[in-house]
Amino acid sequence: MNQFLQLAQDEAIKHLTPLLGRRKACQAAGVSQATWYRSNRQSPAPVRPARARKPHPAALSHAERERVRAVLNERFADAAPATAYFALLDEGTYLASVSTMYRILREHGEVGRDRRRQATHPPRTVPELVADAPNRVWAWDITKLRGPGKGVWYSLYTIIDLFSRYIVGWMVASRESADLAKMLIAQTARKHGIDPGTLTLHADRGSSMTSKTVAELLIDLGVAKSHSRPKTSNDNPHVEASFKTLKYCPAFPAIFGSIEHARVFCQGFYAWYNHEHYHSGIGYHHPVDVHYGRAAAIRDQRAAVLTAAQNTHPERFASGGTPIPPHLPGPAWINKPTNTAKAVTTENSTQN
């Protein structure tokens, strides 16, 4: 029956087309124009010849792309392209943009996976802290390092500066203790010359952090205290991120042979973290340079390298305009308020 109906519709369209045109003839027969063309197609559509894609005039040459790939896979095999980019800028070398580095690696299947996301928790009373300069807000926490035997764990105490991401103090101990935490905080405050009333110390709600021993010390030092919401690690993200960087380090041992082994490893890691690590949260500077006020000069030097690269190959920067390095780090927040007016008021009160 369907075949007879289709034949009848085709005949009607055939006779009506000279009078009404193809579109109105199809409408009169109750058939869409696309359906009629599809059912009456005599031969497949012609295949268009493939045309070779012309490279962009500003694209890197094959030799330049191979050089970029070689540098990333040999010298920066364990680093992200952004780290390689800024390390080369600091040496006075520009090879390609970060996105171009990723494209070159992606063409060869050499881009790894990103790290896992952090957990989120329902909101409670939210701590809101801002640091517009070093030694305004410190955050500290304790993480466990696995020892040589079953049930043997070492405690790594770490204090980080919120503004510069500089590790101002750390300690590896055989246990978690409020007395040890008190000793580390007191030594670190003396080392950095903290004046009373100028620093806030933020931590989670572990037993050592909320202990009376630590609370009394902070009162004696004139340091304000702040605590995360219960079971909310995102309220202390900077020190948690430093622990993640530590434990995702390629050289991080699954098991430490002794507490001395753990101390030696952490000493080397924190020297690298403070003096060699390009931190994305502070404009890909080293934490030590931000902490001691050298970041502005380094940014100016990076800008000079990019300007020289643009002057040498202006065609490669035509679409993006004048290249600029990341801005210097501004005020750093723990839980920046969504109310813009409130955030501005807080920043002004901090500066005053």
Secondary-structure breakdown of the chain: helix, strand, coil percentages, each rounded to the nearest 5: 45, 10, 40
Between residues 40 and 311, the one the model is more confident about: 311
pLDDT of 16 > 90? The answer is no
Find the range with the poorest average confidence among 75-79, 193-197, 308-312.
Answer: 75-79
For the chain, give every residue range classified as CATH 3.30.420.10: 129-282
CA pair distance 243, 252, nearest whole angstrom:
11
pLDDT of 298 > 80? The answer is yes
pLDDT of 344 > 70? The answer is no
- Percent of the chain beyond pLDDT 70? 89
Over residues 306-330, mean pLDDT: 88
Contacts by 247-252 with C-beta closer than 8 Å and gap 24+?
247/143, 248/115, 250/78
- The per-residue pLDDT for range 23-73, each reduced to its tens digit, is 888 888 888 888 877 777 655 666 777 787 888 888 899 999 999 999 998
Give the sheet arrangement for strand 200-203, strand by strand: 167-173, 153-161, 137-146, 200-203, 224-227
Asked if residues 349 and 128 have their Cβ atoms less than 8 Å apart, the reply is no
| pLDDT score, position 123 | 54
Bridge-partner residues for 279, per DSSP? 285
CA pair distance 186, 221, nearest whole angstrom:
8
Type and span of the H or E element at 159:
strand 153-161
Please count the other Cβ atoms lying within 10 Å of the Cβ belonging to residue 65: 18
- Tell me which architecture the domain covering 129-282 has in CATH: 2-Layer Sandwich (3.30)
| Sign (positive or negative) of CA dihedral 163, 167, 173, 179 | negative
pLDDT of 118 > 50? The answer is no
DSSP state of 316: G
- The per-residue pLDDT for range 254-295, each reduced to its tens digit, is 999 999 999 999 999 999 999 999 999 999 999 999 999 999
